[in-house]
Structure 1
Amino acid sequence: MNGILPIIVLTLGIFAYMFWPEKNPFVQRDKTRADYLRERKDVIYDNLRDLNFEYLAGKHPEPDYAEQRAALEDEAAQVVAELEGLTPPTVSRIRTQLPS
């Protein structure tokens, strides 16, 4: 009985640590539109980098590469434009817009 009690306490401690709400990776805060757009931008940039690498490795012919690159660049431009529209202007951008 003396050996079982520490095992039970240790097991309960491990379960409490693993499933404590703040540490649970499955419980996340709600994402904003800006969070989603930042993640999407990162994915598009990763895809562009991978596409360029695969093209240089000879996996894509020139016409396919150009078409896919243009599509990804257009999507990136749309995402960045929407993201800039959501974020408030910074102090430096405001200063450049003011007359001297």
Structure 2
Amino acid sequence: MGTVAGLVLTIALFVFIFWPERNPFFQADKTRLDYLRERKEVVYDNLRDLNFEYLAGKYPEQDYAEQRAALENEAATVLAEMDLLERRAVTAR
């Protein structure tokens, strides 16, 4: 009886661990729009951090201006592509 209970528990444990929806290695496919949303958040976080570090005196004015311009250009590019993909999705419906 104990062996049967152990066997049932082991099988239940394996099913629980390796069930595809609970598997941490299983990911849903990301779309380009999902990737761009994540990238936008990263760029915004970087801009926030850059502003904080500049105000803390860690960056000279010229470096701050260059890095801020680069991050703003990247954000503009990401937002433009997101807008394009969202408009395509709306017109496709």
Could you say whether these structures have the same fold, taking a TM-score greater than 0.5 normalized by the shorter chain as the test? yes
Unaligned runs of 5+ in 2: 89-93
Map of 1:94 onto structure 2: none
TM (norm. structure 2) is: 0.78
Change (3 A) 1:20 1:63: same
CA distance in 2, matches of 1:11, 1:55: 56
Cα displacement (A) at 1:12: 3.8
Identify unmatched segments of 5+ residues in structure 1: 90-100
Distance 1:61 1:7, change over 3 A: farther
Q: After TM superposition, what 4+ stretches of structure 1 lie above 6 angstroms from structure 2?
A: none
Match of 1:45 in 2: 44
Range that drifts further, 64-73 or 47-56? 47-56
Deviations 1:33-85, CA, capped at 9 Å, x for gaps: 11111111111111111111111121111111111011000000000001000
Deviation sequence 1:1-44 (CA, Å, 0-9, x none): 73x65555444433322221011122112111111111111111
Q: 1:76 and 1:6, CA in 2 relative to 1: closer, same or farther beyond 3 A?
A: same
Aligned to 1:16: 15
SS in 2 for 1:23: coil
* Cα separation, 2, equivalents of 1:16 and 1:25: 14
Aligned equivalent of 1:64:
63
* Equivalent residue, structure 2, for 1:93: none
Shift in Å, 1:88: 2.8
Counterpart amino acid of 1:38?
A: R
Give % identity. 67
The number of residues matched between the two structures is 88
Change (3 A) 1:60 1:11: farther
